[in-house]
Amino acid sequence: MRKILVGVKRVIDYNVRIRVKPDGTGVVTDGVKMSINPFDEIALEEALRMRERGEAAEIIAVCIGPDDAQQQLRTALAMGADRAILVKHDGPVDPLVAARTLHAIAQKESPALVIVGKQAIDDDAAQTGPMLAALWDRPQATFASKVEFKGETLVVTREVDAGLETDEVDLPAVITADLRLNEPRYVKLPDIMKAKKKPLDVTDLASLGVDAGSPAQVVRWEPPAQRQKGVMVKDAAELVDMLKKKGLI
Amino acid sequence: MYPYRAPLREIRFTLHEILHAAHHYADIGREDLNAEFIDSVLEEAARFAEGVVAPTNEAGDRIGVRFEDGQVITPPGFKDAYERFVEAGWAALCGPEEFGGQGLPESFGGPVGELFVSANMSWKMYSGLTDSAVLCLERHAPEHLKQLYLPKMVAGTWTGTMCLTESQSGTDLGLLRTRAEPDGEGTYRINGTKIFITSGEHDLTGNIVHLVLARLPDAPAGTRGISLFLVPKYLPDAAGEPGEPNGVSCGRVEEKMGIHGSATCVINFQNARGWLIGEENAGLKCMFVMMNHARLWVGLQGLAQAERSLQASLAYARERRQGRAARGGEAGTPADLIILHSDVRRMLLTQKALVEGSRILTYFAGLQMDKAAYHPDPEERRKAGDLLAILTPIVKSFVTDAGVEVTSTGIQVHGGHGYIRETGVEQFLRDTRIACIYEGTNGVQALDLLGRKVLGSGGQLARLLGGLIGAFCQNHAGYEELSDYVPRLAGLLKAWSEVTERVAQRAARDPEEVGAAAVDYLQLTGYLCLAWCWAKVAAVSIAALKREPADRGFYEAKLATARFYFTRLLPRADAHLDALDAGAEPVMALAAEHFG
Ligand SMILES: Cc1cc2nc3c(=O)[nH]c(=O)nc-3n(C[C@H](O)[C@H](O)[C@H](O)COP(=O)(O)OP(=O)(O)OC[C@H]3O[C@@H](n4cnc5c(N)ncnc54)[C@H](O)[C@@H]3O)c2cc1C
């Protein structure tokens, strides 16, 4: 039966107002509420529904993050993942490093499907899924809003700029979950209790033989510029004038 | 309306950094309830409270319960949220495992309960009383009744009530008249009318289990002649499912100042079949388990509504601009944010100090429930039970009075907009106001504290509480950084012990002394307890700041609030000391007929 691997990233909760550290080396995370990336939660929910329909047998949640990310993995286990793997890594997670890590685990576990969120709400990179597909040399369908098994292929409806696009991909494949794919469930209390006893393996990049280097370098963090006060314009002509003056058109 | 945000950082600080909850659970043999597990439970409860429960709060208030043809219709959304609550297992949080509960210690009900009660106090009352009823039945019901009722009540598929009050019998339960007569089948027939029964009738579940106080024929007069009966709305059939109706009907539903979503019912018992719980004429004793539990819950209601009001106040004070700050304002703006005005700061800090301090005290009392029940050392169990006994009336009254002050102050922060329904903050005051009244009025709680607990134990319970605070002072004496807190706390403790002594001496001579002193004594004790909590916070925060945490701001805010509490709120304790020393005479000097 099929195994599904789900990427679960630990990010600052969407409700938290982000503050950049004064020295520009990152954002403040101490004492800040951390959660599972909302798109990854959708990815996990989809995997759970597949298992509930009998289309998958085992769901493995994987997180690349600090020790504290066990908390998010426990949540994933409480939602219903069968087991979890924490790949220890401190500091920001580069999409390429994440993709390599998921690739290494995919080679070990041979899942039929890897589902990740379409992007993480901290860096908004939207690259992990596609990079993983490239490294693994398997088909991908990103921004999925509907997925259905058809024998040994998967029919995926994708949200693209022009509307909806339907793709059919061979398994194993990589899917990235979009907002409308589903609405994740609320965790049940008995499942939180059960999650205490589910297996959670801890490993690290070196043990998996993953290269932690990345061609991308973060130089500095800055908060976005304060929004300037708006100006009311009389009519379209004045608007065009203003835009011209500002050199915007 | 501001959306509710569960104050998880605050709750975690209270549980982990102040109360060391994981240690506490290890002490009672629950090593599995570590910090990570506690946080998982809180996070999921928070999601549920914010996402499912909080959206029902406004309709609950505006539409309220309806009463049609003897049926109660709960507000839109209540039933769906309740069913999901049961489905997700939250109703069974602290229920015994033997009956399908999750078996978490009672103290979990504090923080988790706070989240649900903040989200919608009225809605939470349907399950809140059930928890108390479960505790009572678990302790006192015969086995066959436990097997029949507890699995359903623990799961939340049936709810419970407590039926004490009658029109002529409120505080004074000795006056109650509802009758119970043996029917020759080992059960009893109950006849009488109860009023103000919370969740007495509703449409959330298939059955309702009433715990009713009534008198047997020839029972002694007064409180010694009261027995406790279990009276279901529908008699369970052979399969244990709701069967024949049982002569229980709802005569009316009250219109109220607040908690519009909670059904407050007149319940008529007409030849209803009841089962005796506990011994004959020992009903009040059995009910006390339930009442003590429910009293802590009521304290929690004060805290939970105060938290909502604080959240709304902070948000509003950071967006409303009026006038110029005394030290000059923000350039390029027509007026400054009201949070820059000193008087608004005073209000916000008052709210913060009372809410955050009350949270510590309330959760601390909750931990004593666990210790009293499960600590391996019998001496520790006894001590925790005693501590709980003295803390219960303090939490019930002090925290609900604080709830009223905080929610009223919240309206003030909003100015006229606070008095207008749209901002939603007046609801918090209307909802929380009842908490000072039911489960024993705050005045009667004060009598319980001073008369029964402090004087009734010959001062032993007061010494226990005082000893705890004294030990804290000793352990933290001589630290320069705590010099604004510890000496003041130690001084107040001494003054409190001495005034207790003086009140006791006067009480021995004057029967009116206790009644005249009680509320001031309770308030004084409450301020003392909160000073202890805030001194702890100061000690913990100073230590945390030395570790150079990235969220310095959090601990600095704690220290600033501790300073505010000690310098700007604690002087209230001195006023209560003065009032106590004035004795009963000025209170009783004016004859009843001369009040005008
Ligand atoms: C919304 C709501 C829900 C309720 N839910 C329930 C419920 O589920 N079950 C239930 O049984 N009851 C319930 N009650 C009843 C509630 O517990 C009583 O109203 C309360 O105990 C006070 O009784 P009373 O109203 O008769 O006031 P009274 O007892 O008449 O008190 C009036 C005043 O006199 C004071 N007083 C009375 N006796 C003394 C004394 N000996 N010494 C000093 N002062 C005294 C009181 O403190 C109070 O200030 C509910 C009430 C309300 C309003």
**How many domains does chain B divide into?**
1
In a domain, B326, yes or no: no
Q: Please give the Cα distance from B369 to A211 (Å, whole number).
A: 53
Please report the residues numbered 295 through 334 in chain B whose beta carbons come closer than 8 angstroms to any beta carbon of chain A: 332
Would the CB atoms of A192 and B8 count as touching at under 8 Å?
no
- Tens of pLDDT, residue by residue over B61-71, are 999 999 999 99
Position in ligand 1 atom list of the atom nearest CA B256: 1
In a domain, B104, yes or no: no
A contacts of B40 (beta carbons < 8 Å): 71, 74-75, 78, 192, 195
pLDDT at A249: 81
In a domain, B187, yes or no: no
Mean pLDDT, residues B118-131 taken together: 96
Whether A5 and A111 have beta carbons less than 8 Å apart is answered as yes
In a domain, B543, yes or no: yes
Mean pLDDT, residues A52-75 taken together: 95
Would the CB atoms of A187 and B90 count as touching at under 8 Å?
no
- DSSP H or E stretch at residue A195: helix A189-195
3-state secondary structure B43-65: HHHHHHHHHHHHHHHHHHHHCCC
In a domain, B454, yes or no: yes
Tell whether A19 is within 8 A of chain B (Cβ): no
Task: With a cut of 90, say whether residue B322 has pLDDT above it.
Answer: yes
Please report the residues numbered 69 through 88 in chain A whose beta carbons come closer than 8 angstroms to any beta carbon of chain B: 70-71, 74-75, 78
Tell whether A133 is within 8 A of chain B (Cβ): no
A contacts of B554 (beta carbons < 8 Å): 31
- Tens of pLDDT, residue by residue over B37-55, are 999 999 999 999 999 999 9
In a domain, B87, yes or no: no
Would the CB atoms of B102 and A190 count as touching at under 8 Å?
yes
Whether A34 and A71 have beta carbons less than 8 Å apart is answered as yes
Mutate to test the interface with A, among B4, B39, B44 (most CBs of A within 10 A): B44
Pocket test for ligand 1, best of B438, B448, B513 (most atoms within 8 A of CB): B438
B contacts of A35 (beta carbons < 8 Å): 43
Task: With a cut of 90, say whether residue A233 has pLDDT above it.
Answer: no
CA pseudo-torsion sign B346, B347, B349, B353: positive
Both tokens assigned to A237 = 């002509």
Would the CB atoms of A187 and B87 count as touching at under 8 Å?
no
Would the CB atoms of B551 and A31 count as touching at under 8 Å?
yes
pLDDT band at A16 (very low <50, low <70, confident <90, very high): confident
User: Which residue segments constitute the domains of chain A, with CATH numbers given?
Assistant: 3-223 (3.40.50.620)
Between B5, B52, B549, which is nearest A31 by CB? B549
pLDDT at B496: 98
In a domain, B509, yes or no: yes
Tell whether B102 is within 8 A of chain A (Cβ): yes
Whether B201 and B152 have beta carbons less than 8 Å apart is answered as no
Mutate to test the interface with A, among B14, B43, B330 (most CBs of A within 10 A): B43
Residue B555 belongs to what domain range? 441-596
Half-sphere exposure of B512 (CA within 13 A, CB side): 9
- Tens of pLDDT, residue by residue over B489-507, are 999 999 999 999 999 999 9
- Cβ–Cβ contacts within 10 Å for residue B329, how many? 16
What's the gap between Cα B343 and its chain centre?
Answer: 30
In a domain, B245, yes or no: no
Selecting among B10, B138, B166, B439, the annotated active-site residue is: B439
Residue A31 C-alpha, separation from nearest chain B C-alpha, in angstroms: 6
To the query of whether residue B439 is one of the catalytic residues in this protein, the response is: yes
pLDDT band at B313 (very low <50, low <70, confident <90, very high): very high
- Tens of pLDDT, residue by residue over B192-247, are 999 999 999 999 999 999 999 999 999 999 999 999 999 999 999 999 999 999 99
Residue B48 C-alpha, separation from nearest chain A C-alpha, in angstroms: 7
B contacts of A229 (beta carbons < 8 Å): 332
Q: Please state the ipTM of this predicted complex.
A: 0.86
